[in-house]
Amino acid sequence: MLQRSGYEVITAEDGKQASQELAKPDGPRLALIDWMMPELDGPGVCREVRAMHTDSYVYILLLTSKESSEDVVNGLEAGADDYLTKPCHPAELQARLHTGRRILQLEDRLVEAREEMRFKATHDALTSLWDRGAILFLLQGELNRSLRENLPISLLLCDIDYFKRINDTHGHHVGDEVLQEVSTRLLDAVRSNDAVGRYGGEEFLIVLGGCDREHLEERAEAVRSSISALPFATEQGLIPVSLSIGALTVTRWDKSISIGQILQQVDRALYEAKASGRNRVVYADNSPVGRAAY
């Protein structure tokens, strides 16, 4: 009857198997559970399901021949969302399952709204990259991890060359297009576990966890060339865009050195890249204005 109504039905031979099926990441979210079952009874299944820390809610309809108020209360307190007394009318079963589907759909919408709010709270609205606060938080986490695991960490502070000229010549809408395309190319140029954030107006901070000085030059050059290799297609036509980049590797972080001091160091390297012609990478340990000895 359930299959004729459009449900995909998974049956379980006993309560333990039912609990295992419902524990799977892609398991059913709507469960019709008999009270009396081998291995584990219906309330026991309810308790096990509710003890699981899953991202998706499972709606449980308990099917029972027990009619006393005490039994019904026990079933609901065990974690059942609703119950039906056997024998039940098929139309009533359908209606109660439909109620469960509505509740699951509502939960899905609430989860989606929560995730959207969480995303907006940590991401830049224009580029969808991590915002300044979030990227600095991630940087702190990577520094802590590098200290625990004795791993290097590298930073790239990137600035779009002549961005004001782009805005003044082509308009702020085109400037926004450039910022969005730069963001896309930066994400494509780094690993999935690297973090890219919009640090300021046209500045971007990239955190490369586990990247040592030996590999930094290759990574930094890949980022730089990802922007300058091809002009940007905008509503005003093709526009050449390039980045100036300050780069720094922290090999042994000392907690007495603040994030502010580290960022000041890489910012000096960026300044040197701008001053020496733009569209290039300057490494803090090679820059005459500072060194990376952390």
Report the catalytic residues. Answer: 202
Count H helices, E strands: the chain?
A: 9, 10
Query: Tokens at residue 159, please?
Result: 């600035």
**Are 45 and 15 a contacting pair, CB within 8 Å?**
yes
Beta bridge partners of 61: 32, 82
Contacts 24+ apart (CB under 8 A), 251-255: 251/152, 251/212, 251/213, 251/292, 251/294, 252/150, 252/294, 253/143, 253/146, 253/147, 253/153, 253/294, 254/294, 255/147
Name residue, tokens 């042994």.
Answer: 252
C-alpha distances in Å from residue 135, one per residue of 5, 157, 241, 288: 49, 12, 24, 27
The amino acid at residue 292 is: A
Residue 170 CB neighbours (<10 A): 17
